Amino acid sequence: MTAKKLLQIISTILVALVVLLAVALVGVRLAGIRTFTVLSGSMEPTYHVGSLIYVKKVDPTTIQPGQVITFMLDENTVATHRVVEVVPDEDDPSTLRFRTKGDANDAEDGSLVHYKNVIGTPVFAIPKLGYAANYIQHPPGLYVAISAGAVLLLLTFLPDLLSGGSDKGQGKRIRQDSQKA
């Protein structure tokens, strides 16, 4: 096997992996799914630390006890816990709140989750992928990802550069032949 052929195989595999990673991290947003990295063990063994969970928006009125929800704790913090009780507001029964608890936690969460803070429900998770997602979202991981993309582009076009343009001459002859016909 020639070095050129080996380089083509490696670059094809790398491109496929990058495309799969891009779809897993970003492409799912086109389907209305958001991704979050599990950073704590509060939902073990359902969702392990480092998992990437995929969350789809849900109508809060359909949420039932036992269902897992992802919600905003505050402006900067997202949590995923199981609903243990749906609590209608005493003054306005159309305003729902949810009592939640992490599967690995002994006690229920201290405050109720307002329905407007519900992001959605997890539809599936990929173990360990959250570590990669979290890494490439912040420096230095961001710089590593950009550098890896540049190297991948170089690997993709390097076989053509190494061929010395020998394919170009063949293309010209074909075009000349087809113009004569």
- CATH number reported for the structural domain that contains residue 145 in this entry: 2.10.109.10
Q: How many domains does the chain have?
A: 1
Distance CA(90)–CA(93), nearest Å, equals: 6
Tell me the backbone φ, ψ of residue 156, rounded to 5 degrees: -70, -40
Distance CA(33)–CA(52), nearest Å, equals: 12
Cis bond upstream, residue 88 (ω within 30):
no
If you average pLDDT over every residue of the chain, what do you get? 85
**Residue 147 is a catalytic residue:** no
Average pLDDT over residues 114-125: 96
Question: Do strands 118-126 and 68-74 pair parallel, antiparallel, or not at all (unpaired)?
Answer: antiparallel
Residue 176 forms part of a structural domain: no
Residue 106 forms part of a structural domain: yes
Average pLDDT over residues 146-152: 83
Mean pLDDT is lowest, of 101-105, 112-116, 136-140, 166-170, for: 166-170
Task: Look up the domain containing 131 and give its range.
Answer: 7-162
Question: What's this model's pTM, rounded to 2 decimal places?
Answer: 0.72
Catalytic site residue from 40, 111, 147, 163: 40
